[in-house]
Amino acid sequence: MKQTSTTKMPDISDDDAPRLTPADFERARYRVGLKEVSRADWQTAVRARVGKRRINIMLDAPIVEHFKTLAGKRGYQTLINDTLRRVIETGRLEADLRRVIREELHSV
């Protein structure tokens, strides 16, 4: 079979998250809001979320750590999403980058 990609995947052997097994997913309890629901109902609710789409994206580790630190109890993915939305809405990527760089240099 012909190889179609030459992308080198990063080594994730130092990942501290436990490996999930099919048995883990069989024991999963599905909730919508705080109400326990069937897997089918959960899947329907997930698909019905307007404006959200699950994707896979590779981010540099320092970027993820930065947003995790900033997020606290709030989800770091939400913070990344909000940051990207703000850049799109304002159309001021350059100005925002300059502001962030100044803030980072000031904090050092």
**pLDDT for position 2:** 52
Per-residue pLDDT tens digits for 47-84: 777 667 778 889 999 999 999 999 887 789 888 988 88
Torsion of CA 49, 54, 39, 76, to 10 degrees: -90
Torsion of CA 70, 99, 81, 107, to 10 degrees: -10
DSSP 103: H
Other Cβ atoms closer than 10 A to 43? 12
Per-residue pLDDT tens digits for 22-45: 888 888 898 888 899 998 888 888
Produce one character per residue of 4-17: b if its CB has 16 or more CB atoms within 10 Å, e if not: eeeeeeeeeeeeee
Domain layout of the chain by residue ranges: 25-54, 55-108
